[in-house]
Amino acid sequence: VTHETSSGVLKFGPIFQKQFLTAVYKLQQDIMQ
C-alpha cells in the first residue's frame, strides 16, 4: 500500500495499514461524539 504525502510516497505493509485505519476510525468516532 502506498500513501502519498508532502514528503513523498510512503509504503506501508498490511499490518501497519490495519493499525492505521483502526486508529483513524477511532479518531473519527471521537470527533463525531
pLDDT at position 18 is 84
pLDDT at position 17 is 79
Domain that holds residue 26: 2-32
pLDDT at position 7 is 74
Mean pLDDT by 10 residues, the chain (33 residues): 74 78 91 88
Q: How far apart are the C-alpha atoms of 23 and 18, rounded to whole Å? A: 9
Give the pTM.
0.48
pLDDT at position 30 is 94
For the chain, what is the domain count? 1
